[in-house]
Structure 1
Amino acid sequence: MKILKRILKIVFALIGLLALIAIFIVWIDVSGTNYLEIDKNDSAYHNSYLITHVNIIPMNQDTVLVDKMVYIKDGIIEKIADTIEVNAIQIIDGENKYLTPGLIDMHVHVWDRYELGLYLSNGVTAIRNLWGMPMHLRIKEDVFEENIFSPSFFTTGPKLTGSEFIGDDNLNLTNPKEAEEAVISYKERGYDFIKTYYGLNKPIFDAVIEQANISDMDIVAHPSQKVPFIYHLNSQIKSIEHAEEIVQQPLQFDLDTLKLQPIIDSISQSKNTSYCPTIMVFNNIYQMMMNDNILDSETLQYMNPLIKMDDSKRQFERWFNAKQKDPSTVDRIKKQHDFHLTIVKKLHEAGVPIICGTDGGIGVTLPGFSIHKELAFYKEAGLSNYEVLKTATVNASQTHAKMNQLGTIEKGKLANLLIVNENPLANLATLENPTYVFIKGRKLNREMLDFFNEKAKNRKNLMATALSYLENIIIEK
């Protein structure tokens, strides 16, 4: 009986500790990023406008609708026409600038709320977070309740891996029953999608797919090396991540375009699967080897301090040491990056929907800023500006049913929009500095967006991030 009482005391103490950690984390998040809070009583933040004299890039077709009006009502696009009469509405003169759908980054890793402002300042109005933790459910709730300025927020649960991939960031599955229970749990707790990762063998993978279908949860797949690559071309899997996984798995690092073509053909035959190349994050390996001072660069001041101290440093040291040991590694990495561009070109030519993702938030890949470099790589791979924009707008929005309200400028769509100075169909760089960002119809001007950048720069939230990570380990492991 005494032993039972002691065990109960320990259990209750752990529960109390967990509760205190969660409360402390929430308090730090809210107090440090209260500049993102929406005051719904402030007329500056209402979500109904009439935009006049604006040129529209609708993205449901390759065209420009010249000198139009757009009526946004309660955060939704209500009407698009040459002339619209609305009483008692604030009017925004578009000054013959260009209205585009907000950008969507389909592969990010969010570590704190400061990053939400970085995405908005770069015109990213929706993100798909691919490593879920409890803090992401809190962010998702605040976004849904419209308590904070943030991109539309979607998140997978924790990564599902095989038993040998032991680590704080994985949920290690040893049998199909565990796989079923994990999918059911993530659905009940409010995660949007399932992310599969390395080490899933066929029986466990089958269980994940079957339960995801029953639970109506789309799967995002980082390919597992325990099953053939084509095994990921399942209707429940809505996107496959990383161009380098094609090189590493089916090609076994053989950069041969003849061997690549059958793989591309097999992907193209799957009508439900998009591909998210994440060119940017692999290219950053090359950038780290070319710049010995990259960790001290001004741009890295926008990285989460814990990630910069740990992940960024470890990745830099890994590739710096690889270069020192074998100088030819630099050329090898550059050649593989160039081959990734060939993969993008071949995927596009085969009609595979390409969706833009950056892997922002890890290594030296900056949240928000990196999407413009990712888009530039697609342009380099041979896509037209319109085709490039599709990857971060309409293609992305069509990947999952719950994202269908995004991606185009049409009646009934969510007013996640950008006003930019030039026509992005002629100059993609104009997207880097939007004049206005609308998030669910609420307008953010350039001054406010620059303020978001400054607040995120050199932030002092290392301990808060560490506590969020600790919370994740306690709850998810």
Structure 2
Amino acid sequence: MKIVKHILKFLVIFVGILIICIGLMMLLDKQNTNYLNIKNNELAYNDSYLLSHVNLIPMNQDTVLVDKMVYIKDGLIQNIADKIEVEGVNILDGKNKFLSPGLIDMHVHIWDRYELGLYLSNGVTAVRNVWGMPMHLRLKEAVINDKIISPVFFTTGPKLTGPEFIGDDNLNLTGPTQAKEKVVSYKERGYDFIKTYYGLTEDIFDAVIEQAKTSDMDIIAHPSQKVAYAYHFNPQIKSIEHAEEIIQQPLNYTLDTLKLKEVINGFSASKHSSFCPTLTVYNNIYQMLIDDNILSSEQLEYMNPLIEKVDSKAQFERWYTTKLRDSSIVMSIKNQHDFHLKIIKELHEADVTIVCGTDAGIGVTLPGFSIHQELAFYKEAGLSNYEVLKTATVNASRTHSIMNNMGTIEVGQVANLILLDSNPLLDLSALQNPSTVFIKGRKLNRETLDSFEEKAKSRKNLIASAVRYLENLIIEK
């Protein structure tokens, strides 16, 4: 009996010490991202400026407005004119640089606050997180209440799947009643959108759509293979994700141009849904296949360490093993990526709205940096620079009504802006390394943005990230 008491006492002490250690690690992780706290960053505290001598790329028309002044007050664009006189406000000389709306990445997976700085350093001033967890509700609250410097943050709830698609990253729905209850719950708890995923049968999907309409929540759809692809052309579904899903579902894993035409016609006729291609994440399969050392590359030091140790490694091993078994997979993946470019070209020619999304935060797809590769792929597919830039600005902002106050440089819009050394309408690479980023009017210079990258590199928050993921499994399951 005494032995049992000693064992129980030891277990209680051990659990107590473990809880304390975890608590200290979580506190340390929070302290290590204090550089994003607005009160700790004098440069970002002010949200009112008068910019002079800037060349505007307004994105509500294909033009450049030369040598303008822009008055930003309380984080909003108040006036745009050749000459503006305002007393008591900081005047910034734009030095004839180019002012563009900040970029919007419409398909990301956020794992920690460090990633917020990586997005900002790459000119991304708004993100749509599409795998919601409790941590994202706290993050959203901090952003809304101006506690931290961050891209404007939107998030779906957990991924809704059918009963057969089992996995710790999915919320399995077993029937229509449960589906409606989850939509109501996500609305009440503060998630912005509904994310539908694999395995949703028609009766469950119908219930999700019906309740989403009642609850006034837009749906973002990773197509379900349990319904026809055309089923997703529903007014409540505001964007359909992933070019590879067109090949894997309606084209039945073929590069069939005739079947593709049917899909294009369906998109064109629906007039409801935007399309978010996420070409970069699929192309990164090819990059893993041709680079056996990609996991040890410097770029992977910017990934969240939990994702790097688990997801990045698992994806690489999957494709490395596949390559050993069948070397033809390398060209198969490359050919499918090239077909994705054809999909983008034909969708664009059919006037389907394309919105930029990278699927950053999984595999080897880097937060922030990957958006420039995604935009380059749209250019390669045949879009003009202006049309490419639209996908990450005005097209993205018009996808959801709650995002309509960004994406263009107009009076009344949120001052999410990037100041560039050269004109991206001539060279898209100008979007990389903006000299200044304005997020809700707050000014971040290049030195500050570079420091965000340095602090995110090789960060040591694996356990803190694991605890947040465990929290998700406990609460959302």
TM-score higher than 0.5 here?
yes
| Structure 2 counterpart of 1:356, one-letter code | C
Q: Does 1:452 align with 2:449?
A: no
Q: Which residue number corresponds to residue 281 of structure 2?
A: 281
* Cα distance in 2 between the residues matched to 1:24 and 1:166: 33
Give the superposition deviation at 1:476.
0.4
Give the superposition deviation at 1:45.
2.1
Contact 1:344 1:381 in 2 (8 A): yes
Q: Does 1:178 align with 2:155?
A: no
Contact 2:25 2:463 in 1 (8 A): no
| Structure 1 counterpart of 2:318, one-letter code | R
Q: Which residue number corresponds to residue 195 of structure 2?
A: 195
Q: Which residue number corresponds to residue 329 of structure 1?
A: 329
Give the superposition deviation at 1:173.
0.2
Contact 2:35 2:41 in 1 (8 A): no
**How is 1:155-174 mapped onto 2 (pairs within 5 angstroms)?**
155-174=155-174
Contact 1:57 1:63 in 2 (8 A): yes
* Cα distance in 1 between the residues matched to 2:24 and 2:158: 22
Residues 223/373 of structure 1: CA separation in 2 closer, same or farther (3 Å cut) = same
Per-residue Cα deviation, 1:329-352 (whole angstroms, up to 9, x for no partner): 001000000000000001000000
DSSP-derived class of the 2:150 partner = coil
Residues 130/25 of structure 1: CA separation in 2 closer, same or farther (3 Å cut) = farther
Give the superposition deviation at 1:185.
0.3
| Structure 1 counterpart of 2:129, one-letter code | N
* Cα distance in 2 between the residues matched to 1:33 and 1:69: 34
* Cα distance in 2 between the residues matched to 1:56 and 1:74: 20
Give the superposition deviation at 1:30.
2.2
Give the superposition deviation at 1:24.
6.2
Q: Which residue number corresponds to residue 6 of structure 1?
A: none
* Cα distance in 1 between the residues matched to 2:305 and 2:283: 22
Q: Which residue number corresponds to residue 257 of structure 2?
A: 257
Q: Which residue number corresponds to residue 118 of structure 2?
A: 118
Q: Which residue number corresponds to residue 435 of structure 1?
A: 435
DSSP-derived class of the 2:95 partner = coil
Q: Does 1:400 align with 2:400?
A: yes
Give the superposition deviation at 1:25.
7.5
Give the superposition deviation at 1:288.
0.1
* Cα distance in 2 between the residues matched to 1:353 and 1:285: 26
| Structure 2 counterpart of 1:440, one-letter code | K
Q: Which residue number corresponds to residue 349 of structure 1?
A: 349
Contact 1:76 1:415 in 2 (8 A): yes
Q: Which residue number corresponds to residue 79 of structure 2?
A: 79
* Cα distance in 2 between the residues matched to 1:270 and 1:51: 42
Contact 2:38 2:44 in 1 (8 A): no
**How is 1:11-90 mapped onto 2 (pairs within 5 angstroms)?**
27-39=27-39, 42=42, 45-90=45-90
Contact 2:194 2:220 in 1 (8 A): yes
Q: Which residue number corresponds to residue 248 of structure 2?
A: 248
Give the superposition deviation at 1:27.
2.8
Give the superposition deviation at 1:265.
0.6
Residues 44/138 of structure 1: CA separation in 2 closer, same or farther (3 Å cut) = closer
Q: Which residue number corresponds to residue 413 of structure 2?
A: 413
| Structure 2 counterpart of 1:36, one-letter code | L
Per-residue Cα deviation, 1:384-408 (whole angstroms, up to 9, x for no partner): 0000000000000000000001100
| Structure 2 counterpart of 1:191, one-letter code | Y
Contact 1:21 1:471 in 2 (8 A): no
Q: Which residue number corresponds to residue 362 of structure 2?
A: 362
* Cα distance in 2 between the residues matched to 1:288 and 1:406: 35
Contact 1:225 1:249 in 2 (8 A): yes
Contact 1:29 1:113 in 2 (8 A): no
Q: Which residue number corresponds to residue 215 of structure 2?
A: 215
Contact 2:22 2:464 in 1 (8 A): no
Residues 43/232 of structure 1: CA separation in 2 closer, same or farther (3 Å cut) = closer
Residues 237/49 of structure 1: CA separation in 2 closer, same or farther (3 Å cut) = same
Give the superposition deviation at 1:21.
10
Q: Which residue number corresponds to residue 236 of structure 1?
A: 236
Q: Does 1:383 align with 2:383?
A: yes
Q: Which residue number corresponds to residue 101 of structure 2?
A: 101
Residues 230/49 of structure 1: CA separation in 2 closer, same or farther (3 Å cut) = same
Q: Name stretches of at least 5 consecutive residues in structure 1 with no aligned partner.
A: 1-15
Per-residue Cα deviation, 1:8-59 (whole angstroms, up to 9, x for no partner): xxxxxxxx99x98997676344212000000189476200000000000000
* Cα distance in 1 between the residues matched to 2:194 and 2:21: 26
Contact 2:43 2:442 in 1 (8 A): no
DSSP-derived class of the 1:157 partner = strand
DSSP-derived class of the 2:154 partner = strand
DSSP-derived class of the 2:38 partner = coil
| Structure 2 counterpart of 1:98, one-letter code | F
Q: Which residue number corresponds to residue 4 of structure 2?
A: none
Identity of aligned residues (%): 70
* Cα distance in 2 between the residues matched to 1:200 and 1:54: 50
Which runs of at least 4 in structure 1 moved beyond 6 Å after TM superposition? 19-25
Q: Name stretches of at least 5 consecutive residues in structure 2 with no aligned partner.
A: 1-15
* Cα distance in 1 between the residues matched to 2:384 and 2:81: 28
| Structure 1 counterpart of 2:101, one-letter code | P
* Cα distance in 2 between the residues matched to 1:245 and 1:415: 35
TM-score, normalising length from structure 2?
Answer: 0.95
Q: Which residue number corresponds to residue 313 of structure 2?
A: 313
* Cα distance in 2 between the residues matched to 1:60 and 1:113: 32
* Cα distance in 1 between the residues matched to 2:163 and 2:24: 32
Q: Which residue number corresponds to residue 467 of structure 1?
A: 467
| Structure 1 counterpart of 2:437, one-letter code | V
Per-residue Cα deviation, 1:265-319 (whole angstroms, up to 9, x for no partner): 1011111200000000000000000000000000000000110000000000000
* Cα distance in 1 between the residues matched to 2:133 and 2:69: 41
Per-residue Cα deviation, 1:334-381 (whole angstroms, up to 9, x for no partner): 000000000000100000000000000000000000000000000000
DSSP-derived class of the 1:334 partner = helix
| Structure 2 counterpart of 1:106, one-letter code | M
Per-residue Cα deviation, 1:424-475 (whole angstroms, up to 9, x for no partner): 1001101111000000000000000000000000000000000000000010
* Cα distance in 2 between the residues matched to 1:36 and 1:429: 26
| Structure 2 counterpart of 1:310, one-letter code | V
* Cα distance in 2 between the residues matched to 1:24 and 1:156: 29
* Cα distance in 2 between the residues matched to 1:196 and 1:257: 27
Deviates more, 1:165-174 or 1:33-42: 33-42
* Cα distance in 2 between the residues matched to 1:60 and 1:194: 29
Contact 1:21 1:467 in 2 (8 A): no
Q: Which residue number corresponds to residue 13 of structure 1?
A: none
Residues 65/25 of structure 1: CA separation in 2 closer, same or farther (3 Å cut) = farther
DSSP-derived class of the 2:407 partner = coil
Contact 2:34 2:40 in 1 (8 A): no
Residues 25/104 of structure 1: CA separation in 2 closer, same or farther (3 Å cut) = farther
DSSP-derived class of the 2:399 partner = coil
